[in-house]
Structure 1
């Protein structure tokens, strides 16, 4: 059974633990207090009896006087029963109660009196075990008290549970509505009587939700407008490049190729921004196989050749991934582009498996820019945003020797 970690559950659980502790604590206190009270009463009664019998009898120079079945007066330490004399020394004077192992109880008063032979210690011994509550009586009485305590405990538990649900109800309702409205930032309403703290919290939550809703709306509008404004000039540029490609010479065609590559990158970036701006994406599956990896690497053939970078790739096995193909390609493209630009004349390796993606380079490493590279790191920011959208984990770590490793954990 799962633990109830709601506010009401925590209140009830705290009460239960505290109440059970108090119930056990008071049971132990009652048991020991009962024994203590019996012992002290016996000792006080024995002191009163000693005064009475001291006046009634001549207690000097005698051996033993049996007053009644309970009270016996001993005139010498050697006359005491062995089980009792083993409890204290001959020089002891005072009043106390002894509990013997065989369930015998004795209240003993030892006092000194003057006699013809000098000071003498006499012992008033009362066998109180037969008249006090025995173990069965104490257990029975304690059981009755425990039963009454449990009854009161259950009544209080029912009241506390009801009160806790009343206190924690608004918090639970707020939590459920927040969970049910992850994509809907409309105000949350709670019915019934609410404590002032809950009203203040609800007001703050609704204020934050309104701010988030406005911020998301502004972001979506901004992305939509910017994407539209970018697409229009890109379309014009693509048309002009088509004309130049038909009529240009070799030098012109080289520049046309570079511009066409840049236009393709801008179109991909625009499409990525539009997908990231969507609150929810349609369920898509990308098939990661040799052909897809080769196609992605082919996009960087010119950059690889210019930077004289040796690229190796390892695919553990073809696999499918719940992700939009455009966004998955954006992750691979940005990681490869960053690694190739940072590894002039070096090596770049990409490893793909159903669990992770690793792009390893031996370039300049973190914190430095390669000569002639004017990037601003937006590619890695896009990778991080895509990973956040799909619940992946992205990390960038330096290698022990040189370069760095970019890792995307897909599971």
Structure 2
């Protein structure tokens, strides 16, 4: 596996690249500026010297050269001394820089101009310009530039040290966070605390994202544990039916009796299948947008009531359905069956006499009983609180609100509130 660099190493590398680039650009700009200034100075000086030479030579036709302290002018290429190594194809009125043989310093500048003599003939005038003072100044400029470059390098090194210290301070909380995660127990899903030090926006976002991820894992584990609790609660009844039915089959071989027990077995298996389907849906994430609105019918509610009427055996309790208005729901039939079934089982268990009413309005499904109320737990009933917990989880899963309220005149009311857009 390729070795990964630390943030400090990457910072040092990129800072060094930028520093070298800045120094190189600085030297290039200084050298280019000095060359441009030297050429501009030579152009102006040569134009001035050429004008002086033309005036002088026109007044003295016999003279073919004009020499001053810093310049020399010659009429015609033939009169130019041999040590001036120039060619005849020089451009007119433009300063040309000529370097020393095998050297780097500028020797002189030359300009070729067109001169009109007194007799009307035209001749080429070659003017050479020497500026030792400027050359000396140019050397001084480069020396000063080198000093500035050294100072710049020192400042860059100091800046790099400061940047590395800042980088170390910024990365310290991240190193602490890494150490915490490495030594954190696999079962520890408590929120991660933001490390001490410089609290940056990026570090805060990282810790928040890790906490959200841990929370999803925690919820997933809780769903798995809830599945075990729900399964033991919901599957107990159909398993007891299956066990009892198989025991009864050993005592009779009458066809009618066997058919009746077969139907009980089939019903128990269907109930178990519905329970498992719903419980699995509670413990896994689903795309609820794929669910379609459907109409809740009275027949669907009657089927749920019929499957739990045996709990009212020998009780003077009336159960009725009041479907005042049709309602659309966005929940699978099996999930609704378990939701309403759990609330009915609790209502039947808490009511010794009176009535249990399933009331359906456009925005609410209510199970109203005349029992002992929500503050007391019915005797001899297993899984009472777990049944309500299952109902709450199903409502939460499908975006419904669940409330358990006491009635003013006794009993309680379990309400499932349907959102208008559902």
Normalised by the size of structure 1, how large is the TM-score? Answer: 0.47
Normalised by the size of structure 2, how large is the TM-score? Answer: 0.46
Larger CA Rg, structure 1 vs 2? 2
